[in-house]
DNA sequence: ATGGTCGGCAACCGA
């Protein structure tokens, strides 16, 4: 069977619900993972998603800030939320799909929203950067993020780091900019390797091809300047690595009216 | 080298 899984930092799901609906009708993902929903669970537009075919939802939202959700056409077996850095700031949710979804072998999906880290890349003077470093270290050390080699698992989301040279428009000019400093790139890559995860976007499109999923709101002519970053990622466990038939970065959604600054990334799996 | 823009929610914080 074919399974489409999308990750998208939507930057307010209520403001952009019509844009999400448009994307759903065009791409028809089976599982839609959103970040920065900025929506408490009791205010989440569940009815709208039900009408769009997503009867199943795992919510981890809060008022005004952060928030992650998994919406699915297929029922899941269970979901859980992990807290990082001793905070309850809604940056992770996990769903496990199995027999109810018609899967013989279970499939675990971790949806993450890693802290952005503020402007100054120095943990001594910027507590937001210190939080980001601690969060990445916890991801590295987290036992539940280390699937067995034979286990089917996906870790995706807005990881807020562009780890490779060609994940940014200018490696040299970005070296001191939060999201591409050497310590962040190293910590994200170390966390990925520690869990045995495969960077499926880069398997599909190796360097030196540029890959971006985010373009700043501060650039009025974002498309011409094209100074993007690859902040959103889809990692798979080793056994799923060669089951990714396609990766689509829907860049056109950055050009929508009232866009998110992130665009959807969709992996098509052959299970 | 600097400042540039968003969203939430009602003054700034976070990105």
pLDDT, tens digit, 9 for 90 and up, residues A119-158 = 999 999 999 999 999 999 999 999 999 999 899 999 999 9
User: What is the pLDDT, as a whole number, of residue A270?
Assistant: 98
Which nucleotide minimizes the distance between its C1' and the CA of A66?
A: B14
Buried b (16+ CB within 10 A) or exposed e, A100-130: ebebeebbbbbbbbbbbbbeebebeebeebb
The CA–C1' separation of A50 and B4, in angstroms, is 39
The CA–C1' separation of A221 and B3, in angstroms, is 15
What's the structural domain count of chain A?
Answer: 1
CA A62, A129, A126, A116 dihedral sign is negative
User: What is the pLDDT, as a whole number, of residue A32?
Assistant: 98
The CA–C1' separation of A221 and B4, in angstroms, is 11
pTM: 0.98
Structural domain harbouring A92: 2-270
* Nucleic acid strand B: bases within 7 A of protein CB: 3-9, 14-15
Output the domain CATH number for residue A45: 3.60.10.10
Which nucleotide minimizes the distance between its C1' and the CA of A116?
A: B15
Q: Which positions of chain A have pLDDT values less than 50? A: none
A119: phi > 0 → left, psi -120 to 50 → alpha, else beta; which? alpha
The residues pairing with A34 across neighbouring beta strands, listed in sequence order, are A8, A69
User: What is the pLDDT, as a whole number, of residue A243?
Assistant: 98
User: What is the pLDDT, as a whole number, of residue A149?
Assistant: 86
């Amino acid at each position: 069977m074919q399974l489409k899984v999308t990750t998208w930092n939507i930057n307010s799901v209520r403001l952009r619900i019509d844009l999400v609906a448009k994307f759903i009708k065009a791409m028809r993902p089976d599982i839609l993972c959103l970040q920065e929903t900025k929506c408490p669970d009791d205010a989440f537009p569940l009815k709208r998603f039900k009408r769009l075919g997503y009867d199943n939802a795992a919510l981890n939202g809060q008022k005004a800030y952060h928030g992650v959700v998994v919406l699915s056409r297929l029922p899941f077996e269970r979901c859980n939320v992990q807290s990082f850095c001793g905070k309850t700031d809604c940056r992770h949710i996990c769903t496990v799909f199995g027999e109810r979804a018609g899967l013989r072998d279970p499939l675990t999906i971790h949806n993450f929203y890693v802290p952005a880290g503020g402007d100054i890349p120095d943990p001594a003077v910027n507590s937001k950067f210190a939080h980001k470093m601690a969060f990445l270290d916890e991801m590295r050390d987290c036992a539940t993020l280390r699937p067995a080699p034979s286990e089917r698992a996906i870790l995706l989301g807005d990881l807020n780091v562009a780890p490779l040279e060609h994940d940014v428009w200018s490696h040299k000019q970005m070296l001191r900019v939060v999201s591409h400093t050497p310590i962040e790139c190293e910590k994200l890559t170390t966390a990925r390797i520690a869990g045995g995860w495969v960077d499926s976007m880069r398997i599909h499109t190796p360097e030196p091809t540029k890959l971006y999923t985010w373009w700043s709101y501060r650039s009025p002519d974002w498309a011409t300047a094209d100074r993007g970053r690859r902040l959103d990622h889809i990692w798979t466990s080793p056994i799923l690595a060669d089951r990714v038939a396609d990766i689509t970065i829907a860049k056109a959604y950055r050009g929508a009216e009232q866009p998110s600054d992130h665009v959807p990334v969709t992996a098509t799996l052959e299970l």
